[in-house]
Amino acid sequence: MTLDTREARISLQDIADVEKRTREALCYSGSSAIFIMWGVLVACGYAAMTWQPGWARTTWLVISIAGSAATALIIASRMRSRPREARDWRFIGAMVALVIFGAGWSWLLGPVVPRHLMYAFQPSLVMLGMVVAGLWVGRFFAALGLAGLALILIGETMSEPWLRLWMGVVQSGTFIVGGLWLRRIGIAR
pLDDT at 147: 92
Written as one letter, the residue type at 39 is G
Query: 168: helix, coil or strand?
Result: helix
pLDDT at 22: 65
What is the arithmetic mean of pLDDT over 9-21? 77
pLDDT at 86: 56
| pLDDT at 57 > cutoff 50 | yes
Domain ranges of the chain: 18-185
pLDDT at 135: 83
Task: Give the pLDDT band of residue 84 (cuts 50, 70, 90).
Answer: low
pLDDT at 93: 76
* CA 125, chain centre distance (Å): 10
- Rounded to whole angstroms, how far apart are CA atoms 165 and 10? 52
- Rounded to whole angstroms, how far apart are CA atoms 105 and 68? 16
| pLDDT at 77 > cutoff 60 | yes
Give 37 or 133, the one with higher predicted confidence.
Answer: 37
